[in-house]
């Protein structure tokens, strides 16, 4: 491995890239467009009242009905009382998930009786972490109405307690916060995959690899120079996406050093995978097909746009065999939850599969024919 060879090849890659407007567009402008598009679609600022599923265990006592009516009057939520008798507080969370509801509220049994007796009660708010914007607003509305009751009560003691919504971390996260790690993962996957599959198969067809095989450049040097290039590109595009998310949509993602290993290991994995896919196929057309077969499921099923936890169990299991899942999960852990422990596991999976695929790529990637 000769550093000067890698540097010389790196300059060739960089120059080719900067002179190709389309490649630059997809690496640098496209991420901003994605952030803007998804940010606008999913930012809740413009939406009307949020549908709030309410499980009223107090059997429609007058006080609970009045509480819900006041909740409706906030115009933040639209109360939707669950009439399905089979739903219990224990199964409510599952039921919400199965029926695609993102927020729910449980009014406990004895709500009216306890309030009348000046005993405190707990209202439980359920929310989908990925729809945290709604969760935040619902929580705000519920505590607001509850405070009214608390003030009315004698001595101003807190009677209705609303614990923070379940499943949400220390801060209220919005969809855009989840979108940023997802889209960083998206570009870690797509940028090297599409280009490496194409480059590997067309360079072989055009004889450029044969040309290079006649120089002292080795296959590993060639691959390392590509990996370095895509690591650089990933740093730039991740920076752009984070900046766009923060300035355009007030995202609160943590920019930590913990991201760096993923921004290196991710491109390492997918540059190798792209080259592998381009090497095992005979023509550029079949390479593109294989590339798409590998890329597209991963693009959507690894938690890029939608959380894997919202998938049906079978699809969740499938997501767990996709290497991109671990890149995105790791980025989520370090950027959103400051959970370095879980991120280590993710990083280990990414690195291990990267090493295996790198070795396979170098093994199957031939400069010259037999």
Partner 1 sequence: MASAIEVRGLVKRYGPLAAVAGIDFSVPTGAVFAFLGPNGAGKTTTTEILEGLRRRTDGTVRVLGLDPWEEGRPLHRRIGVIPQDFRFFEKITPKEAIEYYRTLFHTRADPGALLAEVELLDKIDARFDTLSGGQKQKLGLALALTNDPEICFLDEPTTGLDPHARRAIWAVIRKLKREGRTVFLTTHYLEEAELLADQVAIIHRGRIIAAGTPGEIIRAHGYPARLSVEGSAELAAYLGRELHVPVYAEGSRVEVELSDRRDALRILSAIEASGLPWQSFETRQDSLENVFVRLVGQMDEGALKSEAPG
Applying CB under 8 A, which residues contact partner 1?
4-5, 7-9, 11-12, 15-16, 19-20, 206-208, 210-211, 213-217, 368-370
- Residue closer to partner 1 by CB (options 148, 207) is 207
Q: Give the C-alpha separation, 46 to 51, whole Å.
A: 14
- 3-state secondary structure labels for all residues of 129-179: HHHHHHHHHHHHHHHHHHHHHHHHCHHHCCCEECCCCCCCCCCCCCHHHHH
What tokens does 67 get? 């509480």
Alpha-carbon distances, residue 238 vs 24, 28, 326, 329 (angstroms): 14, 9, 17, 15
Task: Provide, rounded to whole angstroms, the least separation between the CB of residue 278 and partner 1.
Answer: 16
Tell me if 287 sits within 8 A of 200, measured CB to CB: yes
Please give the DSSP secondary-structure letter assigned to residue 367. Answer: S
Quote the least distance from Cβ 219 to partner 1, whole Å: 12
Instruction: Name the residue nearer to partner 1 (CB basis): 186 or 367.
Output: 367
Instruction: List, in sequence order, the alpha helices (H) in the chain.
Output: 3-18, 21-24, 30-42, 62-73, 92-98, 111-116, 132-152, 175-206, 208-213, 219-249, 260-279, 284-301, 313-319, 323-335, 340-364
Q: Minimum distance between the CB of residue 207 and partner 1, rounded to whole angstroms?
A: 6
Q: Tokens representing 163?
A: 């614990």
- What's the closest the beta carbon of residue 366 comes to partner 1, in angstroms? 11
- What distance in Å separates the CA atoms of residue 153 and residue 169, rounded to the nearest whole number? 31
Dihedral sign for Cα 189, 191, 196, 202, please: positive
Q: Which is nearer to partner 1, 4 or 155 (CB)?
A: 4
Least Cβ distance, residue 233 to partner 1 (angstroms) = 16
206 vs 285, which CB is nearer to partner 1?
Answer: 206
Closest distance of CB 246 from partner 1, Å: 34
> Can you give the length of the chain in residues?
370
Shortest distance (Å) from residue 135 CB to partner 1: 49
């Amino acid at each position: 491995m000769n550093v000067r060879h890698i540097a010389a090849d790196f300059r060739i890659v960089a120059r080719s890239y900067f002179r190709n407007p389309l490649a630059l567009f997809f690496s640098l402008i496209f991420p901003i467009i994605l952030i803007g598009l998804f940010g606008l679609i999913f930012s809740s600022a413009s939406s009307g009242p949020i549908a709030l599923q309410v499980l009223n265990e107090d059997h429609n006592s007058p006080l609970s009905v009045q509480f819900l009516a006041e909740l409706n009057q906030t115009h933040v939520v639209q109360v939707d009382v669950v009439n399905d008798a089979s739903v219990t507080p224990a199964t409510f969370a599952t039921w919400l998930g199965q029926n695609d509801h993102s927020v729910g509220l449980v009014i406990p049994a004895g709500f009216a009786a306890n309030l009348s007796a000046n005993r405190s009660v707990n209202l439980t708010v359920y929310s989908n972490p990925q729809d945290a914007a709604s969760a935040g607003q619902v929580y705000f509305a519920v505590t607001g109405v509850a405070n009214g009751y608390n003030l009315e009560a004698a001595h101003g003691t807190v009677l209705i307690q609303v614990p923070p919504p379940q499943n949400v971390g220390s801060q209220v996260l919005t969809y855009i916060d989840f979108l940023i790690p997802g889209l960083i993962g998206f570009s870690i996957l797509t940028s090297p995959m599409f280009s490496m599959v194409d480059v590997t198969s067309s360079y072989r067809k055009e004889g450029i690899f044969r040309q290079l095989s006649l120089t002292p450049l080795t296959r590993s040097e060639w691959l390392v120079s590509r990996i370095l290039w895509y690591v650089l590109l990933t740093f730039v595009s991740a920076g752009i996406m984070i900046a766009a998310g923060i300035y355009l949509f007030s995202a609160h993602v943590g920019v930590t050093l913990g991201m760096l290993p993923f921004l290196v290991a991710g491109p390492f994995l997918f540059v190798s995978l792209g080259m592998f896919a381009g090497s095992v196929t005979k023509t550029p057309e079949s390479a593109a097909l294989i590339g798409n077969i590998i890329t597209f499921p991963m693009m959507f099923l690894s938690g890029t746009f939608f959380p894997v936890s919202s998938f049906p169990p079978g699809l969740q299991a499938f997501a767990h065999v996709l290497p991109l899942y671990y890149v995105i999960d790791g980025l989520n852990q370090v950027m959103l939850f400051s959970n370095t422990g879980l991120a280590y596991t993710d990083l280990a999976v990414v690195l291990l599969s990267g090493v295996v695929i790198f070795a396979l790529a170098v093994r199957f990637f031939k400069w010259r024919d037999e």
